[in-house]
Structure 1
Amino acid sequence: MNSQKTMEECRRYIEAHLNEPLTAEYLSEKFGYSFYHFAHMFRAYFGVPPGVYIRILRLEKAAQAIEQGESIARAGKDAGFETQAGFAKAFQRHFGLSATRYRKLKQGGNQSMQPQIMESRKIRLIGYEYAPTGVDALNYCKDGAYWSNIDFSQYADYHNQFAHRGEIGVWVNPNETSGELSYFYGIVSNRNEPMPRGFKELILPDAKYATFSIESPEPFSTTQLAASVRKMWQFIFTEWLEERKIIFEENKLCFEYYRGKIIQVFIPIK
């Protein structure tokens, strides 16, 4: 029996019967294999166990239905989840946000999920760099809006004076050995402006970017804004880059740009 052909038939069968009870044991019997052999063959072919694969397809089907306007309860039921509580827990674990929040983001909310593609000329920044502390390195999805964790008291006057130019939070990677990210936060500066004591200069080179916009919440809330920025990072790196097959330009820098009520996340692309 051709195992590759069997696995493709199995995949098509699962996709067509997602709203029905499906188990690895049932599928092994249907396609004529022992449970043990089928489980190993399935994992070798798809990279995950049958149960995980089925759950992922169900969640993706439900997410697509929610995006198209279906109610959350109906989307979960039609995708084969027996209980709403089970669906909610699985959705949160897989996508990193609730189904309700996912629907709001897809329908607009305070974030634009459709980016603009633009070319940006070199930008000079004056600011300060924060290296990760503790055992965990920084990452885009978990530590977006890292400024919300920083004490700006020693820099407040300088930033308040020039914040109208725009403030930028940049993910930088100064450690060539560990590869750990650091966070640089600074103001947009002209070429000849002197740097205050204790500040650093960072040059963002010419690059092509996909830019995602976020509106400040009304009434303004630092906590809510930071959460929205983190969700945007999460969406970009767990969904958008994968779905669109966009090539991330690893030699350039990602950054957050704050100016007035609009915040933009810049992702360098090829």
Structure 2
Amino acid sequence: MENKEMLQHILRYIDENIREELSVSILAEEAGYSPFHFSRIFTKTAGMPAMSYVTRRRLQYARYDLSQGKKAVDAAVEYGFETHAGFTKAFKRCFGYPPSFCFLRTGIMPPCEKDQEYFLSGEEKGEKKMNPHIYEFTPFSVIGYPQRQRKSNVKRTADIPAYWDSLKMDSAALLTKLHDTFTASKHFEISMCYDIDTENGEFTYLLGRGIDNPADYEKMEPDMTRVDIQGGLYAVFSTPPAEDYLVAIQDTWHEILTDWLPGSEFEFDDTRYDFEYYDHRDHDWYFGGKVQMDICIPIRVKEK
């Protein structure tokens, strides 16, 4: 068979046997070539060695499973990694963020045959579509009202807008109180999830007011919590102005994690907080009935 036809067959075979033992010898036998000849053809046609592709594909399947709640240690075993540490290292090298970052974030789409078409054509889905602003944040704080949660239907930061209605808090009244109390700081709001326990699905959700003026700190009340954002380098992604906030946020998170971070010179810095940033664009009068916000991802240059 022709090289491209053979490669299409092998890519399908890999997907169908992604949780089974795979090796150059097994793939070569399926293709009808010697291991040496198969390796040369695969690398020349696909642009990477066969087993490098297998590892990447397994990680893509594992990433989807993690977004659905599977534990990283279980995914490591299921996809043939000898140790949890080895799986974590390979995952971070492939995608630019650790496996734990999939929890409470975007709903990753399951791998599909369409991915193979992009791979064979040399194109990356969504390539170069995103153009975030790389910004150096100065340190600031968030003061607001936290809630410790454990909800199976809330798995990602992108679910925050849909989650507001289920919170046992009057968000509008609390935000009004926060803005009326902290008058010295610039007007902006922060939503964030932190203290995430991936073992039992618990996390803390914070609805807060950004504080960038020290004069506001003394106004903090006993039922409020303060989280300090240490600043540093961030990739800031603005959602497209939209009437449907949830879809715009989910789509933006999806592109960040499946397209931008894996192909970027940066990786997620898990020593700092990610957060969602809301300002005057969050009011529908600004875009004529549509709203916009920013997803802020802490980043650092990938290690060579």
TM-score of the superposed pair, with normalisation by structure 1: 0.57
Residue equivalent to 1:191: 214
Any residues of structure 2 matched to 1:149-164 within 5 Å, and which? Answer: 149=165, 150=167, 151=169, 152=171, 155-159=174-178, 161=180
2:159 to 126, 137, 143: 143
CA contact (8 A) 2:133 2:237 kept: yes
Structure 2 equivalent of residue 268 of structure 1:
298
Secondary structure at the aligned position of 1:173 is classed as strand
Whole-Å separation in 1 of the counterparts to 2:125 and 2:267: 27
* Counterpart Cα distance in 2 of 1:23 and 1:174: 36
Matched residues, percent identical? Answer: 19
| Partner Cα distance (2:263, 2:132) in 1 | 13
Secondary structure class of the residue paired with 1:132: strand
Instruction: Write the distance in 2 (CA, Å) between the matches of 1:159 and 1:123.
Output: 16
Aligned with 2:33 (options 31, 34, 43): 31
Structure 1 residue 123 and structure 2 residue 130: aligned? no
Task: Quote the Cα distance in structure 2 between the aligned partners of 1:17 and 1:116.
Answer: 38
- Flag structure 1 segments of 5+ consecutive residues without an equivalent: 1-9, 34-41, 69-104, 107-112
Alpha-carbon distance between aligned partners in 2 of 1:17 and 1:176, rounded to the nearest angstrom: 38
Indicate the residue corresponding to 1:109 in structure 2: none
CA distance in 2, matches of 1:54, 1:169: 36
Which deviates more from structure 2 when the two are superposed, residues 145-154 or residues 260-269?
145-154
1:29-67 C-alpha deviation (Å, 9 max, x unpaired): 53259xxxxxxxx88982469xx8966322545794986
Per the normalisation by structure 2, the TM-score is 0.52
Matches of 2:234 and 2:155, distance apart in 1? 22
- Correspondences of 1:51-200 after superposition (within 5 Å): 56-60=115-119, 64=123, 106=129, 113-135=130-152, 138-140=155-157, 143-145=159-161, 148-149=164-165, 150=167, 151=169, 152=171, 155-159=174-178, 161=180, 165-173=187-195, 180-189=202-211, 190-193=213-216, 194-200=219-225
Q: Report the number of matched residues.
A: 201
Q: Matches of 2:144 and 2:278 in 1, distance apart?
A: 14
For 2:146 and 2:231, how far apart are their aligned partners in 1?
Answer: 21
Give, in angstroms, the shift of residue 259 of structure 1: 0.7
| Aligned residues of 1:144 and 1:229 also touching (Cα < 8 A) | no
* 216 and 16 in structure 1: CA distance in 2 versus 1, 3 angstrom threshold: same
Change over 3 Å in CA distance of 1:17–1:175 after alignment to 2:
closer
